[in-house]
Amino acid sequence: MKKYFFFLAFISCFFSVEVKAQCGGDTSSTIAISEVIMPSVFTPNSDRLNDGFNVSGDCITAIDKKIYNRWGALLFDSQQLEEVWNGRTTSGDKVPEGTYFYVFNIEMLVDGVSTTKLFKGSLSLLR
């Protein structure tokens, strides 16, 4: 059983457009709209709600995830899609409540084309 929720969600919607011209030459197209949602707080307190910080999406093909403290020290580094940051250092020590910074370099398929996007920002860890 997973003990965390994913915070970064990819929401994709497909829309079809059909144009009928009076003189012929009808055409149609389908486009995908992708939206990224990144909440800014998580609570790794073992209550099984919001206990980890990760990314999720059906179209992700590769990932590089890094979490830093405010002084720039690397706390978490993973290229595994399922690996979650649980608010601990790589040596297993709990980090204190505070503000941390993420840099996620994500390769994903958008409209069937491989695209790399960089997501970076801050998040608050509350215990």
Query: pLDDT, tens digit, for every residue of 64-106?
Result: 999 999 999 999 999 998 899 999 998 999 999 999 999 999 9
116, 102, 126: which is closest to 8 by C-alpha?
102
- Strands 113-125 and 98-110, by their bridges, are antiparallel
**Overall number of domains in the chain:** 1
In a domain, 86, yes or no: yes
Determine the Cα–Cα distance for residues 99 and 42; give it in Å rounded to an integer. 11
Q: Give whole-number Cα distances, 21 to 27, 31, 37, 63, 103, in Å.
A: 8, 20, 38, 44, 47
**Residue 19 has what pLDDT?**
61
Determine the Cα–Cα distance for residues 63 and 61; give it in Å rounded to an integer. 7
In a domain, 87, yes or no: yes
- Asked if residues 54 and 6 have their Cβ atoms less than 8 Å apart, the reply is yes
CATH number of the domain at 121, please. Answer: 2.60.40
In this prediction the pTM is 0.71
Q: What is the mean pLDDT of the chain?
A: 80
In a domain, 115, yes or no: yes
In a domain, 80, yes or no: yes
pLDDT band at residue 24 under the 50/70/90 scheme: low
